[in-house]
Amino acid sequence: MTTDTLDTSTSGISAVVGIGHTDWVEDHKRVRNGEKPHDSYGYAALAFKRALDDAGISRDEVDGLIVGPTTAYERMGEILNIDPRWGGQADAVQAVFQAVMAIKSGMAEVVALVYGNDQRSAAVQYGGPEAMGGGSFLSYVYHSPWGLTSQGALYALMFQRYKQLHGIGDSDLGQVAVGQRQWASLNPNAIMRNKPLSLDDYLAAPYIAEPLRMNDYCLINDGGVALIIMEASRARRLANNKAVTIHGLGRSDLNHHATSLGPRLMDFYLPAQRGAAEQVYAAAGIGPKDIDALMVYDSFSPHIFFALEGFGFCKPGEAAKFIADNGIGVGGKLPVNTHGGHISESYMQGWNHQIEAVRQARGKEGKRQVPDCRFVQYVSDVAGKAMSIIYGQ
């Protein structure tokens, strides 16, 4: 597919008008003390209420509903008292895609995206023989006979090959965790805000699955996130003037040989990322050099390396040098995960990245605001499904 044949008609037709989330820091403390403030539905409902308040609209205006995969669509609709004319269930990035397509098709004008997860208080396992109930819908379950029962082990194997291939060391990868902790230190919503991390601290931490250390892993915590996405012309009529336009979408999947780890180990998902990059940049009419802030799904820190290379910020094998030369933390030339990401803010399975992108595009984030922020890109490469969204003014 070439750029002159790409369908860019989803560009600019919708905007995020409301965002909301729960109190990750406070709830993390309460859960650690043995309390359970909410279940997954309660977290989602609270985030939804806050997103409506942020948008300045009523629940009755919502005619589309997408819920995260951690809750049942029908039950969530019942709890929120919404009978939409269009709806479904999806993860964070696909939920945005589906909302935009629903608006483009005329099936809805105001779509609520709602996510809640009580993963910490419910003691959800992301590794071991009972990982997520052992369901075969998760790719890593295919590799359990060899002891690879978590995504952490798979990303460790993936990055070990990358590390040997390109001759980098542990301190190169440590730049990611250190940079994101710098951003978290400026974020009152970040669970790790008051826990500084130096490169020496990073290197002193134990390996979990070599070469990944403790601070390469995401947090596990309860919480909820919600977004309200509205048809663009209607969004522009809102009095609060908070609308952030969705300028582009891009997606490309690698399924061939996926269960044998082929796309992961041989190409580091690079072909899929390049395909998604071609689409999203063509839709938005910009390129990597125009991106003011980058949000990367970071269940593990190697995601940042692969995203920088796959989406054209640097050449393959040069991510470590790019980070060292340009910086991704506070004061860096390419701010990455300005909220602290999954590693230092909150593990909301990509949902918190969407609201941080919106906040940066709104331009009112105080000490952690990226100056003159016009375009914010989100990228995800989970299990070889490379997807991207460009938000902006």
Transcribe 65-117 into DSSP letters.
Answer: EEE-TTS-HHHHHHHHT---SEEEE--HHHHHHHHHHHHHHTS-SEEEEEEEE
pLDDT in tens, 335-370: 999 999 999 999 999 999 999 999 999 999 999 999
pLDDT value of position 131:
66
Check whether 24 has a pLDDT greater than 60. yes
pLDDT in tens, 173-193: 999 999 999 999 999 999 999
Helix (H) / strand (E) containing 26: helix 24-32
Radius of gyration of the chain (CA): 20
**Mean pLDDT over residues 99-123, rounded?**
97
pLDDT value of position 138:
55
C-alpha span between 284 and 301 (Å, rounded) = 27
Buried-state track 18-31, b at ≥16 Cβ within 10 A, e below 16: bbbbbebbebbebb
pLDDT value of position 139:
59
Nearest to 251 by CA among 137, 139, 51, 90: 90
Check whether 219 has a pLDDT greater than 70. yes
C-alpha span between 247 and 281 (Å, rounded) = 9
Find tokens 């920088």 and name the residue. 308
- The amino acid at residue 73 is Y
pLDDT in tens, 78-109: 999 999 999 999 999 999 999 999 999 999 99
Find tokens 């892993």 and name the residue. 217
- What's the CATH number for 14-123+221-235? 3.40.47.10
Check whether 136 has a pLDDT greater than 80. no
Kindly report which listed range (247-261, 325-339, 342-356) carries the lowest average pLDDT score. 247-261
Transcribe 183-218 into DSSP letters.
Answer: HHTT-TT-TTTT----HHHHHHSPEEETTEEGGGBP
Helix (H) / strand (E) containing 351: helix 351-362
Q: In which band, very low, low, confident or very high, does the pLDDT at 125 lie, cut at 50, 70 and 90? A: confident
**Mean pLDDT over residues 379-385, rounded?**
89
Kindly report which listed range (24-28, 42-46, 130-134, 208-212) carries the lowest average pLDDT score. 130-134
Q: In which band, very low, low, confident or very high, does the pLDDT at 140 lie, cut at 50, 70 and 90? A: low
**What is the CA angle 228-31-189, rounded to 5?**
45
Check whether 137 has a pLDDT greater than 80. no
**Mean pLDDT over residues 298-321, rounded?**
98
pLDDT value of position 133:
47
